[in-house]
Copies of this chain bind each other. A is one copy, B any other.
Amino acid sequence: MTVSVRDVAEHAGVSVGTVSNVLNGKATVRPETVERVLAAVAELGFVRNDAARQLRAGVSRSIGMIVLDAGNPFFTGLARAAEQRALAEGRAVLLANSDEQPEREALYLDLFEQQRVAGLLISPVGDAMDRLHALHGRGTPTVLVDRFSDDPGFSSVSVDDVAGGRMAAAHLLETGRRRIAFVGGPRRLRQVADRLRGARQALRGRTDASLSVLPTRALTVDDGRRAASELLRLPASDRPDAVFAANDLLAIGVLQGVLEERRVPGELAIVGYDDIPFAASMAVPLTSVRQPYARMGERAVELLEREIADPSRADREHVVFEPELVVRASSGVREPPGA
């Protein structure tokens, strides 16, 4: 049924070892022999069996990447940059989506470890550190993405989410808002917890302002809509005058839900997080905290390559990027012309 190196060898009148050498570009084969082998490969339609190769070689040439939400442009941008960088290194990136569910994350971790991927990039759901340690200890190079690792065992690439949260809340305070609602969840996601923490820091010591928390099940547009309808059901006296959403998808959902009944930004200012490409062109352009996702993806692959090349534990590195506040109309500030 399947064509193997043995068939190719026979057809070309050489040994299997020679076929393998040709396939792998070893220098010790005479040009005319190379040609004969390649002709046989083409004629028989031979396709290398990667399982057999890997079995012998020990590891694959792919790296696995597990993101929290493949539907979020932030993560697809991150993945795209990582893929680009990895292809330059001759590696493919296999993308998996944990969907913020620990079970799905576990499933893909198993899959990737069984496949003996060369390395792993992951935005952990939150309680996966034990599993990751185990996997890491068994020899899978791992880099945490969008997650600062206090753990010296892992390299990581992250953005200072506490600072980002602080910037968002400070901006709202500066522009006169006093009743801020944080919309986001689940709390086990570090990103969510940190952004909330940052917002709390900005409020610290301010007796004239308050921060309430409206938890969501996930970070999606739908959850944002649901949050909006909850906000609208509140009696006017309890209603916030600003929303800080844990990411742009939520912010967009809130915007959609609130837009018909309430004036944004007049009565309700909105700030999101991630500055996804769509944020700028919303019905009310969204103020957001920008993360340099392209550089993050590249840097993550670079750290991973370094660990793959030398798994000695000496040189773990934690790269922390600074977020940047991008002010647009949704927070009630005139959009600067040309922005």
From B50, B115, B137, B280, contact of A114 by CB (8 A): B50
Looking at the assembled complex, report how far the CB atom of A239 sits from the nearest CB atom of chain B, in whole angstroms: 22
* Cα distance A221–B137 in the bound complex, in angstroms: 43
* Cα distance A285–B278 in the bound complex, in angstroms: 13
Looking at the assembled complex, report how far the CB atom of A121 sits from the nearest CB atom of chain B, in whole angstroms: 14
**Per-residue interface assignment for chain A, residues 250 to 287, with 1 indicating a CB less than 8 Å from any chain B CB and 0 otherwise:** 00100110010000000000000000011011111100
* Cα distance A45–B131 in the bound complex, in angstroms: 11
Among A80, A111, A252, A277, the most chain B Cβ lie within 10 Å of the Cβ of: A277
Segment 32-70 of A: residues with Cβ below 8 Å from B: 45, 47-55, 58, 60, 62, 70
* Cα distance A173–B82 in the bound complex, in angstroms: 44
Please determine whether B70 and A80 come into contact, CB atoms closer than 8 angstroms.
yes
Please determine whether B83 and A111 come into contact, CB atoms closer than 8 angstroms.
no
Q: Taking CB as reference atom, which chain B residue is nearest A92?
A: B111
Please determine whether B71 and A73 come into contact, CB atoms closer than 8 angstroms.
yes
Looking at the assembled complex, report how far the CB atom of A110 sits from the nearest CB atom of chain B, in whole angstroms: 8
Looking at the assembled complex, report how far the CB atom of A8 sits from the nearest CB atom of chain B, in whole angstroms: 14
Looking at the assembled complex, report how far the CB atom of A297 sits from the nearest CB atom of chain B, in whole angstroms: 13
The reply to whether the CB of A88 lies closer than 8 angstroms to some CB of chain B is no
From B51, B60, B95, B278, contact of A70 by CB (8 A): B95
The reply to whether the CB of A113 lies closer than 8 angstroms to some CB of chain B is yes
Please determine whether B256 and A47 come into contact, CB atoms closer than 8 angstroms.
no
**Per-residue interface assignment for chain A, residues 67 to 96, with 1 indicating a CB less than 8 Å from any chain B CB and 0 otherwise:** 000110100110110010001000010111
| Chain B residues closer than 8 Å to A134, beta-carbon distance | 45
Looking at the assembled complex, report how far the CB atom of A196 sits from the nearest CB atom of chain B, in whole angstroms: 25
The reply to whether the CB of A107 lies closer than 8 angstroms to some CB of chain B is yes
Segment 102-128 of A: residues with Cβ below 8 Å from B: 104, 107-108, 110-111, 113-116
* Cα distance A221–B60 in the bound complex, in angstroms: 35
From B50, B83, B252, contact of A97 by CB (8 A): B83
Looking at the assembled complex, report how far the CB atom of A44 sits from the nearest CB atom of chain B, in whole angstroms: 10
* Cα distance A2–B278 in the bound complex, in angstroms: 47
Please determine whether B92 and A107 come into contact, CB atoms closer than 8 angstroms.
yes
From B60, B92, B284, contact of A96 by CB (8 A): B92
From B107, B281, B284, contact of A255 by CB (8 A): B281
Taking Cβ atoms with an 8 Å cutoff, the residues of A that contact B are 1-2, 45, 47-55, 58, 60, 62, 70-71, 73, 76-77, 79-80, 83, 87, 92, 94-97, 104, 107-108, 110-111, 113-116, 134, 137-139, 221, 252, 255-256, 259, 277-278, 280-285
A-B pairs, top 4 by smallest CB distance, nearest first, are A51-B54, A50-B114, A51-B55, A51-B51
